[in-house]
Amino acid sequence: QVQLVESGGGLVRTGGSLRLSCAASVSVFAINTMGWYRQGLGNQRELVATLTVDGTINYSDSVKGRFTISRDKANVFLQMNNLKPEDTAVYYCYVKRRFPTDESWGRGTQVTVSS
């Protein structure tokens, strides 16, 4: 079973920055996609950014130009700059494996942006 451990959430003022980290207990060679999703209070979980094994990066329109996803082996990071109150949410790490084919989620880390 894949375990994902997130860190780096917290409280920050509008315009501030945070860096989220996620360590996955998974073989690097089995990874297809790593990424981040978020769920605000009363909202559905939504994509923030993903990075696939071929290097393709996908960002939601709401974070383009402000957030940067990166990866180092089985760790994935999300650098969040110019944070806005609407970025407040629980952020979840996500990993999709190629073999076996499955998806895993972290427990989430809270990001709160005050106005």
State whether residue 78 is helix, strand or coil. Answer: strand
State the pLDDT at residue 57.
98
Give the span between the Cα atoms of 98 and 115, in whole angstroms. Answer: 41
For the chain, helix (H) and strand (E) counts, in that order, are 0, 11
Write the CA distances from 67 to 1, 61, 100, 108, integer angstroms. 29, 10, 30, 18
The one-digit pLDDT tens for each residue of the chain (115 residues) are: 899 999 999 999 999 999 999 999 999 999 999 999 999 999 999 999 999 999 999 999 999 999 999 999 999 999 999 999 999 999 999 999 998 899 999 999 999 999 9
State the pLDDT at residue 19.
98
